[in-house]
Structure 1
Amino acid sequence: MTKSQYTSLLTRCTRIIRLALWLRKTIRRVKRFNSLNATERNNELVSIAQNLLHILHVKVKPEQAMPDTASMPWLTVANHVTWLDIFVLMAYIPGGFIAKQSIKSWPVLGKLVTNGGTVYINRQSRQDINPVINAIEQALHEGKNVLFFPEAYTSEGLTTLPFKAALFQAAIDADRPVMPVAIRYYDMQGQRTPKVAFVGKTTLLRSLWNIVSLPEIMVKVDFAALLNADDNKITDRFKLKTQAEDFIRARVLSDSPITSINASADNISSQ
C-alpha cells in the first residue's frame, strides 16, 4: 500500500475526535437502554452502529437482500475479522452477541454490547458451553436475535478458521433459523485488505489507528438463505455448522488473494 493511500495525520486526528464525541453520546444512549422496549432498543443499536461506521468511513454493501425479518429471531453466525464486525452486523441485525469475557471490560463498547444482551463465554472452560447454549435458547424464545462468531478467534479475513459446532445446538433446541453472514473488507482501490484485522498481538488502539489511517473501507456482506427454517429442519448441529461454514468460506475465498496465490502455485507445480 503506497503512502498516498493513507489518510493525513489531520484526517486521522479529526476522525478520532469525532469518535470520542460518538463515545460520549453513546454512553448516554446506552444508559437509557433499561427504559426502552425491545423495538426501541433495536432501533438504538442500529443507529449507534450506523453512526460509528459513518465516522470511520466504513461503507457497507449488501451483496443481496437480507431474508424477510418477519422470520426473526435468528441465530446469526459470521466470520470474524475485527471488532468492526460487531457494528457491521448490528447495523442490519440488532441483537446480543456471544463474546469472549475480555470484551466486557472494554470501555464503552463493553457496556454497549452488554446492554444489547451479550452473553460472555469462557473459551478455556468446556463446562461453560451448556449454560451459554441455554442462555442463547432462552433469548431466542424471548424473541431476541443472537449473533456469534463460530471461528471463536479472529483471522485476517482472507480465509476462514474452522467453525465450532457446539453453539449451533441452541438454534435446534429453540427451533429457530440460522442466518449465515460472510463479511469481506476492501480498501479504496477495491482490493481485499487485512489492514482492518484485529489479530495476533494487535491492541485495540493499534487496530483503531490502522482503521482511521485508511481513507475508506468498503465491506461486502453476503446473506445466505436461512438454515433450519420451517421448510428445512436440521436436527444435527454438525450438519448445521457445516452448511453455514461452507457458505461463508466460499464467499470469503471467492475473491481472496490467497486463492489466487494458491492457484498460481498449483499451476507452477504442474508444469
Structure 2
Amino acid sequence: MLSTLRFLIAILTVALYTLPLLVVQEIALRTPLMSDRRIPRLWHRMTLRVLGVRLEVEGAAVADRPLLIAANHVSWLDILVLGSLDGVHFIAKSEMRHWPVLGTFARQQRSVFVERERRRASPDQAREIAERLADGDPMVLFAEGTTGDGNRLLPFNSTLFSAAQMALAGSQTGQVTVQPVALAYTRKGGLRLDRRERAQIAWIGDTDLVPHLRSVFAARPLDVSVRYGDPIPFAAQGDRKTVARQAEAQVRGMLRAMLRGGNS
C-alpha cells in the first residue's frame, strides 16, 4: 500500500512540472528567446531524480559537428539518461510519437521518427536525419534497432548510418563524426544486478509502459553507467557498414567492461 502511494505521488510530481515545461518548450520552439535543447534536458534530469535513477558517466560527447551518437538500447529510460546529459535529438521509432508524456517531449525535442519495418522509406528517413546532422543537431541513433536485455549487444543495423554519409555534403570539415556510447544498468538498491535482474529492468517487446515504470520505481535507487567511446571519423570515402562495425565493437567492449565492473 505504501509503495503504491509513493508511486502515485511520484507520477503526480512529474505531471505537475511537465505541463509548464511543455508550455515553455513550445515558446522556445517558436521564438529565439532560448535554446530548444535546454528544457528537455531539464525535464529528463528532474524525472530521473523522481524515479530514483542515478548516473555514473565516463567521458563526454565530442564538440565536433556533424555528430551521430551510436548507442545500445535497453529501455525507454535510455532516452531520459542520454537526454539529461547533452542537448541531443533522438532517432526514435514511429510508435513513440503517440506515447503519453514521452511522446510529447519527443516531438517537442524535434526527434526524427522512423519506421524501421518499411525498408522503402529508409532513404527518405536517412535523408531527413542527414539534414539535421548537417544543420549541427547532434543525433542519437539506437543502432541495434530494438531493445536488448541489457546483458549482451545485438548487431548494429547499418542502414541509418547512411545518414552520416549523406550529411557529408553539408559538412564544412569534409567528415561526420560517429561517437559510440554504451549504457549499462548495474545496481539497484546499491547491490549489483545479476543477469536475470538486469533483464527485468530492460524493456523488451510489448511490455506495457506503466507496469514497467512501476518496476523501475520499485528498484530505487537504480544505477546506470554511461561510457562515451572514441569518435570515429566518417569521411567521404568511408563505408557505412565498416563504421557501423567499428561502433558496434567499441560499444560491445565498453558494455562488457561495465557489466564486469572494470575498464575497457
Q: Find the partner of 2:207 among 181, 198, 202.
A: 202
**Equivalent pair of 2:190/2:221 in contact (CA under 8 Å):** no
1:66 is aligned, of 60, 66, 81, to: 60
- Which stretch has the larger CA shift, 192-201 or 172-181? 192-201
Shift, 1:234, TM fit: 6.4
DSSP-derived class of the 1:156 partner: coil
Which residue does the alignment assign to 1:179?
179
Deviation at 1:56, TM superposition (A): 0.9
Question: In the alignment, which residue of structure 1 is the partner of 2:190?
Answer: 189
Aligned to 1:118: 111
TM-score by length of 2: 0.85
The answer (yes or no) to whether the contact 2:157–2:244 under 8 Å persists in 1 is: yes
CA contact (8 A) 1:97 1:147 kept: yes
Q: Given residue 47 of structure 1, which amino acid in structure 2 is its aligned partner?
A: L
Match of 1:61, SS state, is: strand
The one-character-per-residue Cα deviations of 1:141-169 (angstroms, maximum 9, x if unpaired) are: 11111111111111121111111001112
Q: Does 1:219 align with 2:224?
A: yes
> Hey, what's the Cα distance between the residues in 1 that align with 2:33 and 2:250?
30
TM, length-normalised to structure 1:
0.83
Structure-2 residue corresponding to 1:13: 8
Q: Percent identity?
A: 27
Instruction: Note the 1:1-271 alignment, pairs <5 A.
Output: 8-37=3-32, 40-63=35-58, 65-69=59-63, 71-174=64-167, 175-186=175-186, 187-192=188-193, 193-228=198-233, 235-256=238-259
RMSD in angstroms over aligned alpha carbons? 2.2
Greater alpha carbon shift after TM alignment, 132-141 vs 23-32: 23-32
Unaligned runs of 5+ in 2: 168-174
Q: Deviations over 1:226-270 (max 9, x none)?
A: 1116xx87601111001110111122222548xxxxxxxxxxxxx
Q: How many equivalent pairs are there?
A: 247
CA displacement at 1:225 relative to structure 2: 1.3
CA contact (8 A) 2:25 2:36 kept: no
| Cα separation, partners in 2 of 1:36 and 1:249, compared to 1, 3 Å | farther
Which AA in structure 2 matches 1:117? R
CA distance in 2, matches of 1:38, 1:136: 25
Instruction: Describe the SS at the equivalent of 1:209.
Output: helix
**Aligned in 2, Cα 1:139/1:39: closer, same or farther, shift over 3 Å?**
farther
Amino acid at match of 1:110: G
The CA distance in 1 between the partners of 2:77 and 2:66, in whole Å, is 22
Q: 1:234 to 1:252 in 2, by over 3 A?
A: farther
What code does the residue aligned with 1:249 have? R
Q: Is the 8 A contact 1:76 1:178 kept in 2?
A: yes
1:37/1:146 Cα in 2 relative to 1: closer, same or farther (>3 Å)?
Answer: farther
Alignment correspondent of 2:170:
none
Distance 1:10 1:54, change over 3 A: same
Inter-CA distance 246–39: structure 2 relative to 1 (3 Å threshold): farther
Deviation at 1:173, TM superposition (A): 2.7
Secondary structure at the counterpart of residue 176 of structure 1: strand
Cα displacement (A) at 1:91: 1.4
Work out whether residues 67 and 225 of structure 1, in 8 Å CA contact, stay in contact via their aligned partners in 2. Answer: no
1:9 Cα offset (Å): 3.3
Q: Which residue of 2 aligns with 1:264?
A: none
The residue identity in structure 1 corresponding to 2:78 is D
